[in-house]
A and B are shown apart, each in its own frame.
Chain A
C-alpha cells in the first residue's frame, strides 16, 4: 500500500512544478530586463508588499468573502428550486427557461451598476450579482442530470407504486448529483470574480475597491497581491466543492476508474 498522503502529493506535483517554473521565469525576466516595478513587479516584490500591506488587504478581503459566500448560498438555493419547478412543470419550463437563458446574455458591465443603483453600496447588491452570475451553470447541470435518469429505473419505481414526487426523490435527484457537482465546480470559479466585479462597480470596501485604488495609485504590485488573494479564495471554494461532492456521493469512489 502506498501512503495516500504521498500519493496525493504526487498527483498535484506536476501542477505545483508548472506554477513554480512560471513564477521563476517571471522573476528572472523582471530581474534581467530591468523593467520598472511600476510596470511589472516581480513575484517576490508582490509577495513582500502583500505581506507589508496585509492589514488593509485583509480588511478588504472580508467583505468580498461575505459577498461570495452569501451570494453562492443564495445561488445554490435558487438553482435547485428553479430546477425542481422546471422539472415538475412543463408549462413553467417553457415559460422560464427562455427568460433564464436571456438573463445570461445580459452584459454584467451594464447590470452591475444598475443593481448597485437599486440596492445601494451595501452587501445586498453584491450577493445578488454573485448569485446572478453563478446560478445558471448549476441550474443547467441539475436539469441535464434529471434527464439522465435511467428510464428503466423510473419504470421500475412506477411498478413499485411510486408517484411523481417519490420518483423524483428516489431516482431523478440522485441521478443528477454527478451533473450538479460538475456544474458546481464551474460556478465556484465565477463566484469570487463576480463579487470583485460587483465591488468594482461600486462599494465601500472589498477586494474590488482595493484593486481599484491600488491601480489609481500606480501600485501594480498591490493589484496583483489582491489578485493572488482572490485566486486563493477561488481555490478554497473549489476545494470545498470537491469535498462536498465526496461527502454527498460516497458511492462514486467505486465507479470504474476512467483514464
Chain B
C-alpha cells in the first residue's frame, strides 16, 4: 500500500547552514507518527518544506504523487498557537474555511457543533486572551481539524504548556485520535508524549537532521498516562533517551 506521506532524501540549507541532510520518512494512512529530536535539529524546517518551502534536494510524495501536484494536502498547527487576538474563538476556528472561500456564517455553522468535543462550549464568542493555555491549544487544534485535509502537521502543540496542563492535553488528544484516526505527523521533544500518542516514532539527530532510529510503539490503545509505566513503555522510553543523549548508539548502519 502506498503510504500517505513519503519523504525521501530531503535536504535543505539556510545560508550555508545545513539544516536537513538526507531525511527519509513515511507516514501511513491513519497512522500517528512522531518526530522526536533536539531543539534546533530542523524539525520545523521539515514542515516548512512540506507546506510549500523549496527543498535543495529530495522528494515529497502524498499518496504516491509529488506534493506540487496536490491541492491543500496538510492541515498545519504552528509551534505557538498563532491564534488571532482580534478574532473570537469561533472566528479563529473557522479561519481555514473562510480562507478556503466558505462564507463566514456557513463556516461558523460548520465549526460550532465541534466546540463541545473540544471542551470549548460557551467560549465561542470569547477572545483568545480570555482563555487558558490549554483551551487556546484546543482552539488551535480545532482550527486545524476543521480544514478536513488528508493529513495533520502538529508542531510541538503542547510545548509551551505547564506540565500538568500538558499531561491533560496529551490524554485528551490520545482519546480524540482514538475516535477520529487522523493521519498525523507530530513534532515534539517530549519523549513520553511521543510514546503516549504515536504508532511510530522517528528519532532525529542534531542538525543536520537525519533519522537515527525508527521505533514502533506496540502499546495497546486506548492509552493513558498509566500505560507509560508498563515495562514495555519503560523499555521504549529508555531506548529513546539513550539514543537522544548519545546519537551514535542508534545509528542505523
Contacts and interface: CB of A to CB of B under 8 A. Distances in A.
A162 B76 CA distance: 13
Contacts of B127: 250-251, 254
Contacts of A158: 51-52
B99 A251 contact: no
A174 interface: yes
Contact of B100 (A152, A160, A250): A160
B68 interface: no
Interface in A215-257: 249-251, 254-256
Interface in B110-128: 127
Interface in B79-97: 79-80, 82, 84-86, 95-96
Interface string B122-159: 00000101100000000000000001000000000000
Contacts of B130: 254
B84 A249 contact: no
Contacts of A249: 86
Contacts of B32: none
Interface in A27-66: none
Contacts of A157: 95, 99
A23 interface: no
Interface string B50-87: 01100000000000000000001011101110101110
A251 B52 contact: no
A151 to B, nearest CB: 9
Contacts, number: 56
For the complex, would chain A's binding face be called helix, strand, loop or mixed by DSSP majority?
Answer: helix
Interface of B: 48, 51-52, 72, 74-76, 78-80, 82, 84-86, 95-96, 99-100, 127, 129-130, 147
B86 A161 contact: no
Contacts of A162: 99
A152 to B, nearest CB: 4
A177 interface: yes
Nearest to A254: B129
Interface of A: 150, 152-153, 155-162, 166, 170-171, 174, 177, 249-251, 254-256
Contact of B84 (A155, A160, A161, A174): A174
A221 B100 CA distance: 65
A251 B85 contact: yes
Contact of A255 (B85, B96, B100): B85
Nearest to B149: A159
Contacts of A255: 85, 129
15 contacts: A150-B80, A152-B78, A152-B79, A152-B82, A153-B84, A156-B78, A156-B82, A157-B95, A159-B52, A160-B147, A161-B99, A170-B84, A170-B95, A255-B85, A255-B129
Given A155-B51, A254-B130, A171 B84 contact: yes
Is the contact region of chain B dominated by helix, strand, or loop, or is it mixed? loop
A217 to B, nearest CB: 54
B1 to A, nearest CB: 26
A153 B147 contact: no
A118 to B, nearest CB: 42
A254 B89 CA distance: 13
Contacts of B147: 160
B74 A153 contact: no
A210 B179 CA distance: 78
Contacts of B85: 174, 251, 255
B79 to A, nearest CB: 6
B100 A256 contact: no
Nearest to A174: B86
Contacts of B84: 153, 170-171, 174
Nearest to B155: A152
Nearest to A155: B78
A171 B87 CA distance: 11
Nearest to B88: A251
A84 to B, nearest CB: 18
Contacts of B95: 157, 160, 170
Nearest to B78: A152
Contacts of A170: 84, 95, 99
A166 B86 contact: no
A152 B77 CA distance: 9
A160 B96 contact: yes
B162 to A, nearest CB: 16
Contact of A256 (B75, B79, B129): B129
A153 B75 CA distance: 13
Contacts of B75: 159
A166 B129 contact: no
